[in-house]
Amino acid sequence: MADAGRHGAGAGRRRAGVLLKYVHICGAVWFLPLNRDEAVEAIKKAYHTAQEHARKIGGRLEPIQPRHIYGDAADKFGYTLQLGRITVNLPPASVVVLWGFYNADEYLDFVRFIQDSRVYEWFVEPIAYYPERVGVWLEEPLIFRNVIYIDVHTTSTEEVDRAYGWPLGYFISPLQPPQEVKPPRRPRGGGGPRREGGRRS
């Protein structure tokens, strides 16, 4: 599968007055099985990246779990992906670091991660035939904050609401929510500075 986005997900060009965004399309060639040395190094790099983010915010580091993706709907879907579009609202100061994908569904052909102008489309169907059904992303780990949209597509013609795949990586969240910064209060009353004895100058 050709990589149509090597210029970068945020790159663009103007054609007929329209800004066309490149989509980072990644096929099986960009995913390695777990038994490759490069795959092990890629996972280590992603873990070190996640550790660095955890250190910066004084937070905890966990594998990505259903509650991180679905919130209150975690029990409904578990470690499966709802078909269509999933909206992931990350808590303030939280970070997601992705290093790969698990696919146990031969009909799950691609997933797309979207944040602002960045779009990463992963062609994941071949991973269903990898050893352990895990593909390790060969390039830099993907890092997301704030809101992520995940588009999940299947070629199945059956009436299903989910696919048996899961993004692999780390969720980093602060141990305590960041403090809200409030502007300083203005002193009550007006007038100029007071002299000793309480009389205004």
Residue 182 has pLDDT above 80, yes or no: no
Q: Who's near 179: CB < 8 A, 6+ residues apart?
A: none
Report, as an integer, the average pLDDT of 148-172: 97
Question: Is the CB of residue 141 less than 8 Å from the CB of residue 49?
Answer: yes
Which stretch of 7-16, 21-30, 110-119 has the lowest confidence by average pLDDT?
7-16
- Using a pLDDT cut of 90, give the percent of the chain over it: 70
User: Taking all residues of the chain, what is their mean pLDDT, rounded to a whole number?
Assistant: 82
What are the backbone dihedrals phi and psi of residue 139, each rounded to the nearest 5 degrees, phi first?
-90, -160
d(CA 117, CA 99): 20
The token duo for 37 is 């040395």
Report, as an integer, the average pLDDT of 152-157: 96
Q: Where is mean pLDDT largest: 13-27, 106-120, 179-193?
A: 106-120
Confidence of residue 47 (pLDDT cuts 50, 70, 90): very high
- Using a pLDDT cut of 70, give the percent of the chain over it: 73
Residues in the chain: 201
Confidence of residue 20 (pLDDT cuts 50, 70, 90): very low
58-85 residue pLDDT tens = 999 999 999 999 999 999 999 999 999 9
**Max CA pair span of the chain:** 86
Question: Is the CB of residue 33 less than 8 Å from the CB of residue 130?
Answer: yes
> Distances from the Cα of 201 to the Cαs of 74, 187, 195, in angstroms?
65, 17, 6
d(CA 50, CA 114): 20
